[in-house]
Chains A and B, each alone.
Chain A
């Protein structure tokens, strides 16, 4: 699964939403797979079930999850990717924070990009292993 970081600037529901999207993109959750129930995920991450429900509701509204009445919640057959404008905004936001951290410790752009590459590869590898 993924972890919740209390000192992350992003609220918990957004971290859950991001975590779920990441698992789908990397194949740890596939189209048609059942997603954990709100109760189970809340227990597992030790967060308020309302917060999980909020993330699930957004994922459903955005066509990433599909709810089948009486059966539960599934990954949509063709889970929608975020719109280009939305994706760019998320990237700009996160890179501002990252660039700020890099500059403050005196890292060169080269060092910063190397670290980013390493993190990207590690996340992909970890999820592939679990998939």
Chain B
């Protein structure tokens, strides 16, 4: 099999049930090799269940999940050699020193790169003799990332890596990820609430809502098609422009609409409508798009 051509992750129709509750509902997604892929969703949207199944920590009720070309459940043991994971609650026995943790991982992973690990700890400013229990939350994440990257993985999975971190710790974590991308082109799959942090580095995003993948595409395409439009007229004026709207609401005496298929010509048609005195269009950040798509119950 040609590894370069199989995607890093391919999930096809994954469903995860807990009793009668459906946590993941026929979700499908593809993470291309070498990409930075962000899975977004509110708490309880089903991200964690999906990630656990992709990592072979849990078996999906149905569907196919391949990671690096192999079935993520059947071949979970040998896949772990090739994947680096930073869990949401990076944990280790509190008495263990960072050095002991590194020794332990080095004994498990044949490819463990001690030099790279030491260099990262230096950049993070963490002493190897520190007890894990004495590290701050941000430092625990940093140690966890350094351990994960030291195994020179083909794929790195970050489950909400910046949750609970301050601005400085967040920045240094993203800096390491960017350096890793530049040096080795590792595929990165992450879930996050930190949309501003991820906006500059993600190639591709998916939005999960109530267990379903409601949107999956290149970030650039997504940002090109979403726009906020405000105009001084009633919402009915939108009919002339054939826009699909994610949200329409009153804005002063006029209307605010978030459209998901923006194009300049359609906007000109809207603006040339005789009943409209003024109309304005603005680009949206990923966070604004996310709120429009997943923020309000439809």
Point out residues on A near B: beta carbons under 8 Å.
4, 6-9, 11-12, 38-39, 42-43, 45-50, 96, 100-101, 103-104, 106
Contacts and interface: CB of A to CB of B under 8 A. Distances in A.
B200 A12 contact: yes
Contacts of B199: 6
Interface string B154-197: 00000000000000000100110011011100000000000010
A104 B264 CA distance: 16
B278 interface: yes
Contacts of A38: 182
A39 B182 contact: yes
Q: What DSSP secondary structure best describes chain A's contact surface?
A: helix
Contacts of A47: 178, 200-201
Given A39-B183, A50-B181, A11 B202 contact: no
A11 B222 CA distance: 11
Given A11-B220, A11-B223, A50-B34, A4 B179 contact: no
Nearest to B283: A9
Contacts of B61: none
B281 A46 contact: no
Contacts of B36: 48, 50
A45 B200 contact: yes
Contact of B285 (A6, A42, A103, A104): A6
A43 B201 contact: no
A47 B220 CA distance: 13
29 contacts: A4-B200, A6-B200, A6-B285, A7-B283, A7-B284, A7-B285, A7-B288, A9-B224, A9-B283, A11-B220, A39-B182, A43-B175, A43-B182, A45-B200, A46-B171, A46-B174, A47-B178, A48-B178, A48-B181, A48-B200, A49-B181, A50-B34, A50-B36, A96-B264, A100-B280, A101-B280, A104-B230, A104-B278, A104-B279
A16 to B, nearest CB: 11
A7 B178 contact: no
Contacts of B121: none
Among B201, B284, B285: residue with most chain A CB under 10 A = B201
Contact of A103 (B224, B278, B283): B278
B182 A49 contact: yes
A103 B182 CA distance: 44
A42 B220 CA distance: 17
Contacts of B281: 100
Contacts of B283: 7-9
Contacts of A11: 220, 223-224
A4 B196 CA distance: 12
Contact of A49 (B178, B280, B282, B286): B178
Interface string B238-281: 00000000000000000000000000100000010000001111
Interface in B84-106: none
Contacts of A100: 271, 279-281
B203 interface: yes
B203 A48 contact: yes
| 4 nearest A-B residue pairs (beta carbon) | A104-B280, A49-B182, A9-B283, A39-B182
A66 to B, nearest CB: 21
Contacts of A43: 175, 178-179, 182
